[in-house]
Amino acid sequence: MTVSAEPFAQKYGPYALVAGGSYGLGAAFAEGIARRGVNLVIVARNKDALNTTAARIRETHGVDVKTIVADLADVDNVKKRVSALSVEIGLFVYDAAFVPIGPFAEATEDQLAAAAAVNVRAPLLLTKFFATPMITRGRGGIVLMSSLAGGQGSPNLATYAATKAFNTILAEGLWKELSPLGVDVLVCTAGAIMTPGYEQAENVKPAPGTLPPVTVAETTLDALGNGPVVVPGAVNKIGRFMMTRLLSRRAAIGIMSKNTGGLS
Ligand SMILES: NC(=O)c1ccc[n+]([C@@H]2O[C@H](COP(=O)([O-])OP(=O)(O)OC[C@H]3O[C@@H](n4cnc5c(N)ncnc54)[C@H](OP(=O)(O)O)[C@@H]3O)[C@@H](O)[C@H]2O)c1
């Protein structure tokens, strides 16, 4: 469905920033945005992967792609590096996540702090950083990534799931608050995505409805302006409806536990 009367590049250009844009879903977001004619700033830690993706997108889509090698846990550094580029960011996509997998009893404080820093503090403070000038301009877009795991408690993924619930609720509130000001906010509540991160996780059972990154990115970008929530894939839509609307909390946590309870 076409969701905005204005062409994508006019509404969300001239630059989009993808936080975690070097591979997997983040790279698919960057590709999809470039295909829609918007220049890019992509942020990630690994310089080589970032440069490879940037070169491929420049070559394929003819847009400008700037890179920032940085850890999103250090928000002040990221803000400083973005300001130094002196470009107007009309679209902000927060893709990166830290996923501590396994029993809570075995998680270290460093892992829990990293999950809070990368999955909660950074999307919150960077949303504030990018939304402020968007509100002044009266146009822009913000996409936060969430997960079906964030719809209910998810044993052995409890911290990650809770950080994803934070992103869902934040985006829902901002969708209502910022849409009259011209800024579209959307949260993507994804099921399993065949990204390198997902494929490398140990003891992950193949989930029904697993999607390739390009499908998730394209469905999400097409839904921008039609928030607050997009759930890519029919199986995932049904799953989310069942888990969050039909079942009791106990039953939903029990079902999730069958999928995540063995993760280590
Ligand atoms: N994969 C799934 O099955 C699934 C399911 C539901 C929701 N999601 C959500 O979808 C999003 C992406 O999923 P994914 O985990 O599969 O990742 P991905 O999109 O395949 O890749 C993660 C990207 O973020 C970057 N990144 C990670 N940590 C970073 C940090 N601290 N600072 C800067 N950049 C960082 C990575 O590059 P570097 O490593 O070089 O920094 C990479 O570019 C996440 O928000 C996740 O919660 C995923």
Average pLDDT in the 181-191 region?
98
Q: Give a yes or no: residue 208 inside a domain.
A: yes
Q: Give a yes or no: residue 136 inside a domain.
A: yes
Distance, CA 191 to ligand 1 centroid (Å)? 14
Q: Give a yes or no: residue 183 inside a domain.
A: yes
**Distance in angstroms (rounded) separating the CA atoms of residues 203 and 66:** 37
Closest ligand 1 atom, residue 160 Cα:
47
Average pLDDT in the 164-178 region?
98
Q: Give a yes or no: residue 26 inside a domain.
A: yes
Q: Give a yes or no: residue 57 inside a domain.
A: yes
Closest ligand 1 atom, residue 197 Cα:
16
Strand runs (DSSP E) across the chain, as ranges? 15-19, 39-44, 65-69, 89-94, 140-147, 183-190, 229-230
pLDDT in tens, 54-66: 999 999 999 999 9
Q: What is the CATH number of the domain that holds 103?
A: 3.40.50.720
Q: Give a yes or no: residue 82 inside a domain.
A: yes
Nearest-CA residue for atom 21 of ligand 1 = 24
Alpha carbon 213 to chain centroid, angstroms: 12
Average pLDDT in the 234-252 region?
96
Residue pair 12/29 in contact (Cβ under 8 Å)? The answer is: no
What range defines the domain where residue 249 resides? 8-260
Average pLDDT in the 12-21 region?
98
**Distance in angstroms (rounded) separating the CA atoms of residues 212 and 226:** 22
Banded pLDDT at 170 (limits 50, 70, 90):
very high
Count up the domains in the chain and report the number: 1
Query: Whole-model pTM?
Result: 0.96
Q: Give a yes or no: residue 3 inside a domain.
A: no
Closest ligand 1 atom, residue 44 Cα:
34
208 or 25: which leads in pLDDT:
25
Nearest-CA residue for atom 29 of ligand 1 = 96
Q: Give a yes or no: residue 65 inside a domain.
A: yes
